Structure 1
Amino acid sequence: MQECIIPNILPLEIMEMQGANVILDISHHNGRVKFDKLAQAGIVGIIHKATQGQTGVDPNFESNRAKALAEGLLWGAYHFATGSDGLKQAQHFLSTVEDLDNTVLVLDFEPNPTGPSMGLEEARAFVTHVKEVTGRYPGFYSGHYIKQLLGTSNDPILAQCWFWLAQYGPTAVVPPNWPTWTMWQYTDGAFGPEPHDVGGTRFDRDTFNGSLQDLRTFWGT
């Protein structure tokens, strides 16, 4: 991966989408990220991949957390789900994240391109364990996959999670299981509405369904 060079831009540029369009989700695939430039550009929160399956750990999670927090950015962690024991995956995720009080937690529920994908029972086990340990349900990130599995039906356990919609189009279409979206990943840096980038570097970009103050309250800061 090439180093991300992110020059400063005006904060107004990142407020074009509905809500507070000030969140990025990243992983080691983004390479070396300049968190100081992101903060200067108006980005407020980072949600970083922490784990995958029962044993995988993103190699940049720890180092990027320290850098992001040093710039005053809000920090979140997500777990990429695989088709295996949901309880064991949740245990692995929480032990890797460690600082559970100050971190937004998310289950990334999408098809796994390298093996079996997590099913609904495994997802229920994952989010239930997170709730038992932390006292709160994690966010639930998904798009077409959850719509395909649930259709028009409801899942009372997964419905306790706040919903992070993945959909690269101009209109947010939320599954019936949730009344609305809390966050919306509207672009992967290539498809979906603008803006796709921060200062010329493309990222997965996410908007929060509320104001900046609502966002900070949601994050617990």
Structure 2
Amino acid sequence: MSKAPAWFSRRPVMRPCPLTCQKRLSELLRVDNEMAPCLKIALMSTMMRRLLTTGLLYLLAVTVFAQSPEFNEPWKNPNVALAIDPFEGNAIDWAKLATDKRVVAIIHRATIGDRVDKKYAERKIEAKKRGYKWGAYHYGKPGDPIKQADFFLATVKPEPDDLLALDLESTDFDKHMSFEEARVFINRVKEKTGRYTVVYANNLVTRAIAEQVGETDVFAKTYLWYARFKRRVTDFPAGAWKTYTLWQFSSEMNCTEANREACLYTVPGTAYDMDVDVFNGTIEELKSKWPFAQSYSLKSVGSPR
């Protein structure tokens, strides 16, 4: 072992503190002892303020979101537009339907997998004759999405003012179209028509998409047709979509024949099982924006007045 240097064994020189220094130190210690409780209280107050501020901001955000008109029974606003989305199993009395001037659009099921809805063609003719905005949707099933998209387009023969939509019914991809298949379907429709489809999705599907995709994903370029059967929504899963364009809020899911009073909205000329949708905007806005042909990122959905 090598010998330690001479300076290693030296003790530090302890010089006495001057009297003025001792006095000042004593004052500081006294002040410190007196102020300690105040400092502790101040520190705790600061921490509490931060916690309260964070909590209040969160509550404020939730409250604002919960009270947002588009998520708080918007169908009660007489200025917003309504739509229905029937399929072959629903009945329509056209004369009675016409008495509700807020119902200005119809989105009909056209195809389901590789099958055509039996009522689609005749109802398209009748609806357009009566001046309704028209839309068609495809119920996505497992299987070749390009084949399904081509079949859908060949069936509906879309006109420039026809809305096109893809129904993603569930995250059970053994029975329904998967998200990857949906991307292919949407891109195929875009390739053939120059526009993206509207996407129909319930809350579970919307949340799953929000958790998986970013702003550059094809889903983020579409409009959302949101299905949620309740009066108010306080937990909309924003992600691919900031909000909905259409909200399907009433159907046989929350409306029964035995208790029509429980239905959130009753459209004349239809039964309890008719799907009813509210548009995120006024009647005039729906008519001007239909069929939502532009990419979602290039526009803003109208808000109820």
Alignment TM-score, normalising by the size of structure 1: 0.83
Partner residue in 2 for 1:30: 90
Note the C-alpha offset of 1:148.
5.4
Where does residue 221 of structure 2 map in the other structure? 160
Residue of structure 2 aligned with 1:125, choices 181, 184, 201? 184
* 1:213 Cα deviation from its structure 2 partner: 1.1
The residue aligned with 2:104 is: 44
1:97-116 equivalence runs, <5 A: 97-111=156-170, 116=175
Q: Deviations over 1:57-76 (max 9, x none)?
A: 00000011111111111110
Matches within 5 A, 1:80-91: 80-91=139-150
1:208 counterpart residue number: 279
Structure-2 change in CA distance of 1:157 and 1:99 (3 Å):
closer
- Distance in 2 of aligned mates of 1:18 and 1:138: 28
Deviation at 1:181, TM superposition (A): 0.5
Coordinate RMSD, CA, aligned: 2.6
CA contact (8 A) 1:189 1:196 kept: no
Farther-moved stretch of structure 1 (204-213 vs 34-43): 34-43
Structure 2 residues not aligned, in runs of 5+: 1-73, 256-261, 293-305
SS at match of 2:109: strand
Secondary structure of 2:89 counterpart: helix
AA at the equivalent of 1:213: E
Compare the two structures and name the one with the higher strand fraction: 1
The 2-side partners of 1:79 and 1:220 are apart by 15
Pairwise CA distance, 1:187 = 1.2
Check if 1:69 corresponds to 2:140.
no
Distance change in 2, residues 1:18/1:167 (3 Å): farther
Show CA shifts across 1:84-118 (max 9, x none).
111111111111010331210100001399x6211
Amino acid at match of 1:201: A
CA 112–97 in structure 1, closer or farther in 2 if over 3 Å, else same:
farther
Distance 2:88 2:207 in 1: 29
| Cα displacement (A) at 1:126 | 0.6
Query: Counterpart in 1 of 2:230?
Result: 169
Q: Distance in 1 between matches of 2:228 and 2:244?
A: 11
Q: Does the CA contact (< 8 Å) of 1:38 and 1:198 recur in 2?
A: yes
Q: Percent identity?
A: 31
Question: In the alignment, is the contact (CA less than 8 A) between 1:18 and 1:207 conserved in 2?
Answer: no
Query: Is the CA contact 2:171–2:178 (under 8 Å) kept in the aligned structure 1?
Result: no
> Gaps spanning 5+ residues in structure 1: where?
1-13
Quote the residue 1:4 is aligned against. none
Where 2:164 maps in the other structure, the secondary structure is strand
Amino acid at match of 2:228: Q
Q: Secondary structure at the match of 1:41?
A: coil
Does the CA contact (< 8 Å) of 1:44 and 1:73 recur in 2?
yes
Check whether the contact 2:203–2:226 (CA below 8 A) recurs between aligned residues: no
In 2, Cα distance between the equivalents of 1:120 and 1:168? 23
Q: 1:49 to 1:21 in 2, by over 3 A?
A: same
CA contact (8 A) 2:207 2:237 kept: no
Deviation at 1:197, TM superposition (A): 1.7
Q: Alpha carbons of 1:41 and 1:148: their partners in 2 closer, same or farther (altered >3 Å)? A: closer
